[in-house]
Amino acid sequence: MCAMTVYAARCSQLKDRLVANQKSANPNFTTQFNNAWALANLGRLSRMNVIWLGKRIHEMIERWVEPDQREMLDRLSDRQARAWKRWEARIAEKAAKKAAGATMKGRRKSETPAPVAPDNDVWNLVK
């Protein structure tokens, strides 16, 4: 197994628990919601995790129809939407910097002129 940060391990654990409960013979709303809520409350979710969480929330909305469950899922969906808006802002900021040419990868290469051959070369015996 590869080395993993505590954050990555926690994300993976919460995602695995959520999927396992959704696929189980008798899924439990509370368990699914708690795992999704804990994942949404982690510091900065990656773009992939935000998108993944949104898909799982939509699956939960289709399955659980009671009014109190819908209210809880709406709050969870709002948290996911806020996380996605933060990512959209970061993406737009990076695009603006790239368009302005503010960031450059690597060093700027200075163009050096080609070396000029000397007129009187002592090693050049052919004239």
- Per-residue pLDDT of 1-41, as tens digits, reads 566 788 889 999 999 999 999 999 999 999 999 999 999 98
Domain ranges of the chain: 6-99
Q: How many CB atoms lie within 10 A of CB 84?
A: 16
Report the 10 Å Cβ neighbour count for 72.
Answer: 18
pLDDT of 5 reads 87
pLDDT tens digits along 42-92 = 878 889 999 999 999 999 999 998 999 999 999 999 999 999 999 999 999
Residue showing tokens 């708690």: 34
The predicted structure's pLDDT at residue 124: 67
Q: Is the pLDDT of residue 122 over 80?
A: no
- Tell me, what's the pLDDT at 73? 95
Q: What is the pLDDT of residues 90-114, one digit of tens each?
A: 999 999 988 887 545 666 666 677 7
Given a contact cutoff of 8 angstroms between Cβ atoms, the answer to whether 12 and 26 are in contact is no
Query: Is pLDDT above 90 for 117?
Result: no
Residue type (1 letter), 118:
P
CA distance 96 to 91: 9
